[in-house]
């Protein structure tokens, strides 16, 4: 292992998806890959209610789609998505599946340590769910500590970043342009639009909805359901259209590719 | 919540995939679903080396494909796959991502408890990886204990089953017919065949391989790599053909649908 | 216990410190207090290097001082400070004491659950350290989950908030006015100024310093020390003056009292 | 420490029990032992109901008896038994003592790591309880991971095996011969017979019993008790006779000695 | 379950061992027992070096022998011994098997909770090893907390006591009489004498030893071995005689029966 | 790092408090300090009811005061106090904040490991609460194990001691002289006297009290409150006077300075 990560050449044109999905590669191919690139992308989602018309898989579907697009444009490998995230506050709604914070922390810790063992030094987690942010960052701190305690080669070069596609500046700007105040904070038209682009069958259940309860602080599941009886936080998801979703995908991928480029360089 | 689970009517013809993916449903749809069915399917895979020509995602890809087929035929909802499993012994090969046993136990525990909270009473985990079996069963015992300790309504009706598609009797028989002794124990032609059926791009990397190291007991990662230098355990994956994969998918789904029917009835 | 928290009357003039330190009250006094107020303040700090001239206790000293001032003005009880926080990335510098993320999560979880058991429903954590934010929020999610799982009376009324005194808008504005870009991101003149106000003996070690390494992302301890050899992140702490500190204390307390008032009302 | 384990000479005639009980040896004797043998036997039982006439200690008594007999014949040291195992599903019956899966995993992990620290490289766990199997295997995976992470000398030579005396092929065959279908799956005549051989006082409580509830899947404790009201699973323990027990002990020991011989050689 | 534990009648003459070993009883017998007695005895030992001539099982053998004698005299049930305890500081000597403090805490917690679930309200742990004391007491506090959190019936009547046979006042006095200062603090003649009484084969390895290193504080394993090169702490174990052991057994049992009587009454 | 800790020169006259508070020092100062001293003091308290007139912070206030006085006299650095301790049994009284035993164990473990990383080799914990003793000692054992497992330089020289100021022989003697039997076991006049010396405002709430419930064994919180309805255990805290407190501080500090001197020398 060299003392600094090899430079990464972003491909001139996007690669086919097969080329960058870790799941579709073999271990010798990964060994070869590590000779010229030490970066990898990990999509992180959640499986939780998204209002009366939003898909329960919204956060995982969108995180994975953005991650794959970033992978195609950058040439970085993309691991499978971790579709279960920290969604304790949504457990009052049927279908939500949540990992406790300590559990998600352990998952991300183990994923990072597994990858670091092979020589990966830049772990770029593309996240689709606000509830994962705190736990994700705590997990990174724990992973750095373990890597150092184990004396892992490259421990001092290991770096993780949590990139939320939905808070990238150009994404926020596009949402503001399209929806203004009606974007809201959960089951937002921007994320719903992206799912309509990815899964056209979802259009069938979209419909106008009454005004949503306003966004506010998030506490436990019962409190959440009392404040937000249909699961939305100040959002009008029926403004979403599939073509918006295509724009969000492109905008998010562009923004994150730039962020990734910077991350690999530091 | 009634004191016994409502009966389940298996649909006369398979449902479209959209209908049974939990990720593509909304929370009110899940609430309605629970009025007539308390069962749910959870695909569990692994992300680990599968020999010099096998896809790293083999165990997750196959588990998810079988789970969706079982869902289409039975009408049961299918959650997203947990693609990271317990693969500590494969960590000597680049690209393997492993959750420690304690971590995977926590993940399955939390998934089961989340589902049980909503009223699900039959959690059917379709598993694609031998290394998950022990941990999965331990997780179920822990989940029963927690459900009872928390006084969860329905705690005494909660039941989980781990169904390994690759050890279903008809699947084993088909593998024997097609490959005899050359099936082996890891990176087997049967699972590789299924991935070729699912992901045609994988055909490009298949090629004849020298005789594999024989299968044997599994210990730590260094010991595993020393015994099985290319990652295979007694298998000849180049015997796999995409049309075999289609047959494995059908055979596995048929067997598991029957097993599921029995599971829902007890 | 009533079904909604009793209203809180902010006192017309600040109370003496003795009146609001939980440590100086007796249990019958706390019982009486709970009859008219369900809120409590918890100071959270860290014990970590703050550059060549900054006190190792900066984050705990400042968090406690702000918390006590907010307590005096609002009449809310203030618990003792948790002076050890999550500072893994500072462990490369002598004197830093860090709790692992999982440990700090357990501490805050237990503190919240203890307080909730007595009937406290609004836990207002005044934090002095950026490294605690992620873990603190994860701890709250875990605490809500436990409170519900245990069937704690008032579980659905339990709410926690993490308030960072150093990121309150008026504080940021004051820092910008006084120091502009030279505020930096760690061992900042604003926090150092507050410690000079609180502990005059610290003035003796202040001195001009060479230009600090720029702020950047935070990873493991070795990486941190390599990037920031003297522990500062883009800051010029020698700009700090004790009278600035008095202004920061007043500004932070004013901002947090308003935030607290809103928190108690929701 | 040499790079391969020293060969083991099985003694021509069984040793006295005192010679192979770790509890009756001194530390210098163990040091000498390690010069020519790196194997050790750990008996693992459970403390749980065994039907209306079976001893609560059945699984620990039998595991320890088989382990000592294997020790006498092979010359391997035998540690004291871990008499508490994972028996969550039997907690509905008075007298059952269960370790949660996570706890048993920690126990076996620590036992293996302690032994590995001294240079033991083959840990042969003789198990008397089906409920321990999953957790035991998960513990081994965790132990391998820890041994490697700690850089323990010999980590890559550490191997553990879980040997269930009651599922050894010759044991199953003998049970079939003696009891046919009436062997059942819990509180079986074979294990009861062994306890009668070991503890003659148990004969006093044996008596004919009504037909047992049939065996079936195992879930939580309440479900178990509802399905199996007297604790038996399809078994007729009153068929057991002490002389059968002597044959089971001999048969199990013979089978496991062969298995152990093979284990030490790999 | 009644609101206060039924009174216990100590039998006029000792019971046979079979009558009080939980392992040799059936679950209906335990149910009947609980109608008139809510107490139970748990022997806790350790598996660790005891100097050049002391048995590695000393602490478990002695704790179990005392526990059985107390059981015979009091009529209380005795569970199997937990033979592995917390012996981290002895890990520098071959043959020592140690549970980490957190593991032993979990074991004792689970044992207490299992017993409490059945209605046991007085858990009397007879301990043979100083290293278990701190962890044992911490485990009790955790067990009380869990029992209350789970809403276990009888949680507020659950009481645990750790009784060290070797520090009972009459035992200390007898040791002083027999050995004076030469009793020491580890591998003491009193405990060795008890093992000689229990296991006559141990006499063969007793022999005079040079003066032992003096007793002192206990830290980590390497420090322990450096201070006490042969494992003894100021003791002359060769003073031990089997007939002393019989007296220690009688003295310890008498003292603990009185202590137990008082414990059951509170 | 040298192979033995540098000798420590106790200063001829007490140092000012600023000089020995770790919180008021900078990291380069700590680095310099470590060149001539490897010892450090950690005050450990609790936040729990102390009867109807005792301050909830009694155990933390007293531990910190004694620790600072020992620091001034010895020249050793004193970390901030850990004010939350293990007080599960006091949770029945409003205002008590308790860390679960496992949590406190993790806190002390992390504090010790952080300090050991910098080269501290003698961690002297001055404790003010009986409930912390067991957990504290368990934490030290865990810390030694981790330090060795991580291969920390100096792991074999790491030593921790828990010093309870309230059980130092001269302190017990003074309490006996002043209060005789009326000292009791919780909310004792000796500790209350020390708080009156430290915080004169506390005098206002002191008053005669009826006879306290007698001391006895400690179990869960409900049991504790039933036995000790006002929180006291056989004590008459109204005998306390501020000038007694000054004597207790001096007596405790003198005793612990001697103990510390001996601890640093071994």
Q: Which of residues 135-164 of E touch B (CB under 8 A)?
A: 150-151
pLDDT score recorded for residue B8: 61
Say how far apart CA C211 and CA C166 lie, in whole Å.
Answer: 23
- Quick check: A266 pLDDT over 90? no
Residue whose pair of structure tokens reads 């293990």 in the numeric block: F86
B154: left (phi over 0), alpha (psi -120 to 50) or beta: left
Say how far apart CA F86 and CA E142 lie, in whole Å.
Answer: 10
- Phi and psi at residue E124, to the nearest 5°: -110, 105
Task: Give the rounded percent of residues in chain C with a pLDDT score beyond 90.
Answer: 90
Taking an 8 Å cut-off on Cβ atoms, the answer to whether E98 and D91 are in contact is no
Which residues, in sequence order, are bridge partners of residue C124?
C41, C161
Give just the sign of the alpha carbon dihedral D187, D191, D192, D195. Answer: negative
Residue whose pair of structure tokens reads 């330089």 in the numeric block: F153
Q: Which residue has the higher pLDDT, F248 or A12?
A: F248
Q: How confident is the model at residue F266 (pLDDT cuts 50, 70, 90)?
A: confident
What SS3 string covers A209-251?
CCCCCCCCCCCCHHHHHHHCCCCCECCCHHHCCHHHHHHHHHH
Task: Give the rounded percent of residues in chain D with a pLDDT score beyond 70.
Answer: 97
Taking an 8 Å cut-off on Cβ atoms, the answer to whether D47 and E23 are in contact is yes
Cβ burial D54-69 (10 Å sphere, 16+ → b, else e)? bbbbbbbbbbbbbbbb
Tokens (6 digits) for E12: 């006029």
Which has the closest alpha carbon to F45: F60, F61, F67, F66?
Answer: F60
**Chains in contact with B, where contact requires at least 3 CB pairs less than 8 Å apart:** A, C, D, E
pLDDT score recorded for residue D8: 61
Q: Which ipTM score applies to this complex?
A: 0.96
- Quick check: A130 pLDDT over 90? yes
Q: How confident is the model at residue E225 (pLDDT cuts 50, 70, 90)?
A: very high
Say how far apart CA E261 and CA E70 lie, in whole Å.
Answer: 11
Which has the closest alpha carbon to A55: B79, D144, D40?
Answer: B79
pLDDT score recorded for residue E175: 98
Which has the closest alpha carbon to B197: B251, B152, B119?
Answer: B251
pLDDT score recorded for residue D9: 62
- Residues 6 or more apart whose CB falls under 8 angstroms from that of A17 comprise A68, A71, A72
Nearest C-alpha of chain F: how many angstroms from D39?
Answer: 23
Say how far apart CA C263 and CA E143 lie, in whole Å.
Answer: 35
Secondary structure class of E49 (helix, strand, coil) = coil
Pick from B145-154, C127-136, D124-133: least confident: B145-154
pLDDT score recorded for residue B9: 62
Strand F39-44 relative to strand E159-164, pairing: unpaired
pLDDT score recorded for residue C2: 41
pLDDT score recorded for residue E8: 61
Nearest C-alpha of chain B: how many angstroms from E106?
Answer: 14
- Quick check: F11 pLDDT over 90? no
Contacts of F221 in chain E (CB under 8 A): 144, 148
Say how far apart CA A184 and CA A171 lie, in whole Å.
Answer: 14
pLDDT score recorded for residue D3: 44
Say how far apart CA D187 and CA D165 lie, in whole Å.
Answer: 15
pLDDT score recorded for residue B150: 87
- Quick check: A211 pLDDT over 50? yes
Q: Which residue has the higher pLDDT, B153 or C245?
A: C245
Nearest C-alpha of chain B: how many angstroms from E147?
Answer: 10
Whether F128 contacts F166, CB under 8 Å: yes
pLDDT score recorded for residue A9: 62
Tokens (6 digits) for B159: 């039941």
CB atoms within 10 A of CB D206: 16
- Residues 6 or more apart whose CB falls under 8 angstroms from that of F1 comprise F119, F153, F154
- Quick check: F48 pLDDT over 50? yes
CA dihedral E119→E124→E126→E131, nearest 10 degrees, is 100
Say how far apart CA B127 and CA E224 lie, in whole Å.
Answer: 48
Nearest C-alpha of chain C: how many angstroms from B231?
Answer: 33
Taking an 8 Å cut-off on Cβ atoms, the answer to whether C88 and A145 are in contact is yes
Whether C91 contacts F111, CB under 8 Å: no
Q: Which residues of chain D have pLDDT under 70?
A: 1-9
- F55-110 residue pLDDT tens: 999 999 999 999 999 999 999 999 999 999 999 999 999 999 999 999 999 999 99
Contacts of E105 in chain F (CB under 8 A): 101-102, 105, 138
pLDDT score recorded for residue C8: 61
Strand E77-78 relative to strand D159-164, pairing: unpaired
pLDDT score recorded for residue F149: 86
Taking an 8 Å cut-off on Cβ atoms, the answer to whether B141 and D105 are in contact is no
Nearest C-alpha of chain F: how many angstroms from E196?
Answer: 30
pTM: 0.95
| Residue A150: DSSP 8-state | T
In a mutagenesis test of the E interface, which of B142, B144, B145, B149 is the best target, namely the one with the most E β-carbons within 10 Å? B149
Say how far apart CA B139 and CA B122 lie, in whole Å.
Answer: 15
In a mutagenesis test of the C interface, which of F54, F67, F97, F202 is the best target, namely the one with the most C β-carbons within 10 Å? F97
Tokens (6 digits) for E124: 């009397």
pLDDT score recorded for residue D121: 97
pLDDT score recorded for residue A2: 41
Say how far apart CA E81 and CA E129 lie, in whole Å.
Answer: 13
- Quick check: F147 pLDDT over 60? yes
The overall average pLDDT reported for chain F is: 94
Q: Which of residues 198-257 of F touch C (CB under 8 A)?
A: 199, 201-202, 205, 231
User: How many whole angstroms from its chain centre is CA A185?
Assistant: 16
**Chains in contact with A, where contact requires at least 3 CB pairs less than 8 Å apart:** B, C
Whether A39 contacts A87, CB under 8 Å: no
Tokens (6 digits) for C161: 């908030």
Contacts of F149 in chain D (CB under 8 A): 150
Out of C102, C105, C220, closest to residue A148 by CB: C220
Nearest C-alpha of chain B: how many angstroms from C231?
Answer: 34
Q: Which of residues 108-137 of F touch C (CB under 8 A)?
A: 109-111, 114-115, 117-119
Q: Identify the helix (H) or strand (E) that includes residue F224.
A: helix F221-227
Whether C193 contacts C249, CB under 8 Å: no
Pick from A83-87, D68-72, D99-103, E9-13: least confident: E9-13
Say how far apart CA F203 and CA F197 lie, in whole Å.
Answer: 9
Residue of B nearest to C152 (CA): B150
Out of E102, E158, E217, closest to residue F266 by CB: E217
- Quick check: A89 pLDDT over 80? yes
- B163-220 residue pLDDT tens: 999 999 999 999 999 999 999 999 999 999 999 999 999 999 999 999 999 998 899 9
Contacts of D150 in chain F (CB under 8 A): 149-150
**Helix residue ranges, H only, chain B:** 17-20, 27-36, 58-74, 101-118, 133-149, 169-179, 189-198, 221-227, 242-265
pLDDT score recorded for residue A8: 61
Say how far apart CA C183 and CA C176 lie, in whole Å.
Answer: 7
């Amino acid at each position: 292992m060299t003392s600094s990560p090899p430079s990464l050449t972003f491909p001139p044109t996007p690669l086919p998806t097969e080329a960058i999905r870790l799941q579709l590669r073999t271990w010798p191919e990964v060994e070869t890959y590590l000779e010229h690139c030490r970066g990898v992308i990990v999509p992180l989602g959640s499986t939780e209610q998204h209002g009366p018309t939003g898909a329960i898989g919204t956060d995982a579907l969108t995180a994975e789609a953005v991650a794959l697009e970033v992978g195609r444009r950058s040439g970085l490998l993309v691991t499978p998505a971790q579709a279960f995230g920290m969604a304790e506050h949504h457990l009052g709604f049927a279908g939500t599946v949540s990992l406790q914070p300590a559990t998600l922390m352990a998952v991300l810790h183990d994923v990072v340590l597994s990858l670091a063992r092979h020589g990966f030094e830049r772990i770029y987690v593309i996240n689709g769910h606000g509830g994962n942010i705190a736990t994700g960052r705590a997990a990174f701190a724990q992973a750095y500590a373990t890597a150092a305690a184990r004396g892992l080669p490259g421990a001092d070069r290991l770096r993780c970043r949590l990139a939320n596609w939905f808070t990238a500046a150009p994404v926020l700007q596009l949402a503001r342009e399209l929806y203004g105040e009606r974007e809201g904070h959960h089951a937002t038209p921007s994320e719903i639009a992206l799912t309509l682009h990815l899964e056209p069958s979802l259009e069938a259940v979209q419909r106008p909805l009454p005004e949503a309860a306003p966004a506010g602080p998030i506490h436990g599941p019962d409190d959440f359901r009392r404040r937000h009886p249909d699961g939305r936080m100040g959002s009008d998801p029926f403004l979403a259209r599939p073509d918006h979703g295509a724009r969000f995908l492109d905008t998010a991928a562009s923004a994150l590719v730039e962020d990734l480029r910077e991350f690999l360089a530091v």
